[in-house]
Structure formats: C-alpha cells, structure tokens
Amino acid sequence: MREKSRLEREVEFFAQTEEMLSDAQVLLELADEASDAETADEAQAKVAELRERLAEAEMRRMLSGEHDAMTAIVSINAGAGGTEAQDWAEMLLRMYLRWCERRGYTTEILDLQPGEEAGIKSTTLTIAGEYAFGHLRSEVGIHRLVRISPFDAQKRRHTSFASFTMVPDVGDDVEIEIEDKDLRIDTYRAGGAGGQHVNRTDSAVRITHMPSGIVVQCQNERSQHKNKASAMKVLKARLYEKARAAKLEESERLAGEKKDIGFGSQIRSYTLHPTQRVKDHRTKVEAGNAQGVLDGQLDAFMRAYLLEGTGT
C-alpha cells in the first residue's frame, strides 16, 4: 500500500505538470495572436511555475536509490569541545527541524541527551516525508562551525564540530534476526523539566546489542513498552545499515579500491565570524546568508550534492 501510494503521487505529479505545460502553450499562443500584454504576463508566470516543477521532477529522478523514499532515523552528536560543541549540536538540530517544517515533513525525537551547561550531547529522531532519506543523504558527515563564542568572556573565535549520521527506517521490509540472548535491556528514569511533568517511573529504555556493541535508547514516551518498541526499531535499522556497509566494504576490497569510510573531515563549514558564509567542501556550493541556512534553507546544498552524485 505504501508503494501504491507513492506511485499514485508520482503519476499525479506528472499529470499535473503535463496539464500546466498545455496551459502555458495555450496562453502563449493567445498572447501572440492578440498581442495582449496581460495574457503574456500570465503566460510568463505559468512558465516560471513550470520551470520549478521541472526542477522538482529532476530531483525526483535523482532520488531513485533503494532507500531514498523511506523515513530517516537521524542522529546528531556533539564533537570534542564541551559546551561549544554541544551548543552547535543543538543548533544543527534546530536547523533540520526548520528544514522539515518547510517541506511539511513530520519529526519525532526518540532520545535527547542535554549538555551540562547548554546545548545537547546527542539526539536521535525520525524524519518522515516524501523522499526524506534521499534528501538527507547530502547531510551525512561532520559539520564545522566558526564563530565568536557566546560562552567565552573574552569573545574569542571558536571552532566546533558535530556529526550527522543516518539510517533508513526499514520497518518490516527486511528480515533482521535479533535474538533475546544477545540483548541487554536497561531501564532508567527519563530526564525532564521537573515539576508536575517529571517522570517518576523508569520508563526510558536502553538496549545494548552485545555482538555488535550497538547501543540505542529511547525516552520520549511515558510508556516503557512504547520506548522499547521504538528503541528496537532503531536497533533493527542500525544493524541493517551495519550489514549493508560491511557488504559494500567487502565489495570495494575485492575490487581493489581503498575508500575512507571513517569519521573523516568536515563536509560543510558554517562561518559566522568575521563574515557570514556557509560552504560545502564537496560541491563547492556557498551561501552568504548563513543565518538563512541555519533557519533551514538547505535545498541548494542538497540539490548540488545529488546532481554531482549522478554525474550530471
């Protein structure tokens, strides 16, 4: 049913685009025959709208990977640097939440570990929407921030790092065998703001998959059962991605290729001082409006990455 709905949306998109093209042609012909400036303006507006649709169609063509249409399970982790890095991790979380708002995607924070003074140490969230995983492929890696620190009394410039990782929410599409004997399940009291909303039960769940060493946790629900179900979903997705990555690495080894699949250097730098600039180090795309990018204006970076990835 999910695949059927996706295909129906695709067919509807192209049917609407074809209808827009026909309308634009009719308006252009009318404007030419009658030398009517008002009709010509209307035709130009229709053509501009059509160009946007064709750009969207091109994006859809590039989002044809195995998991591109799936929900993304995203993790953001602060790098070394204490409060500075933790504040930057929270800024990244806000940036992606704003981007999701712009696209009409739905988000759910499964786990969030606050920093000691400010920001967050880490967070895990799901991002659901049309081609969520495909769009966010461009964001995986290390993000670097350069700014005058709001936590430094001497107002010195600091550099902070945070990582963005992601796995597809494979749901029931693949079989991942997880044996109970391989799991260590711990429960603990979820953090909160306190007061009347404080959680007085050990509802938060942490699951350790001992053979792989993968640890997942969830604390967003008040029900321990629901948190366990969410944590198991994340564990399943991460085990699937681990197996896929191992298979890819083995294929590259047999093919005699050597690629860096480690933590690596930054993929994008966000500079707030002395000038405002955001630069993607892979595609060389730059934006002068750093605040706009931090408010979720990421489409130009994503588009450039996808275009480069298809060799166009």
pLDDT tens digit sequence for 254-270: 544 443 323 447 899 99
Q: What is the pLDDT of residue 312?
A: 43
Q: What is the pLDDT of residue 252?
A: 54
Region 52-72: mean pLDDT is: 84
- Tokens standing for residue 244: 């896929």
Confidence label for 212 from pLDDT (cuts 50, 70 and 90) = very high
Q: Which has the higher per-residue pLDDT, 73 or 197?
A: 73
- Tokens standing for residue 119: 């920001």
Judge whether 72-169+263-309 and 180-254 match in fold.
no
Q: What is the pLDDT of residue 60?
A: 76
**Is 162 a residue whose pLDDT tops 70?**
yes
Give the range with max mean pLDDT: 58-72, 107-121, 184-198.
Answer: 107-121
Rounded Cα distance between 104 and 94, Å, is: 15
**Is 195 a residue whose pLDDT tops 50?**
no
Confidence label for 280 from pLDDT (cuts 50, 70 and 90) = very high
- The domains of the chain are located at 2-62, 72-169+263-309, 180-254
Relative to beta strand 106-114, strand 120-128 is antiparallel
Q: What is the pLDDT of residue 174?
A: 67
CATH no., domain 72-169+263-309: 3.30.70.1660
10 Å Cβ neighbour count for 182?
Answer: 12
Region 159-174: mean pLDDT is: 86
Q: What is the largest CA-CA distance in the chain?
A: 79
- Tokens standing for residue 228: 């366990």
Q: Which has the higher per-residue pLDDT, 1 or 235?
A: 235
> What torsion do the CA atoms of 279, 285, 291, 292 make, to the nearest 10 degrees?
-160
pTM of the entire predicted model: 0.74
The chain-wide mean pLDDT, for the chain, equals 85
Q: Which has the higher per-residue pLDDT, 261 or 102?
A: 102
10 Å Cβ neighbour count for 23?
Answer: 15
**How is domain 180-254 classified at the CATH fold level?**
Double Stranded RNA Binding Domain (3.30.160)
Rounded Cα distance between 152 and 257, Å, is: 45
Q: What is the pLDDT of residue 113?
A: 92
126-157 per-position pLDDT tens digit = 999 989 999 999 999 999 999 998 888 788 88
The helix-helix angle for 37-62 and 299-309 (nearest 10°) equals: 60
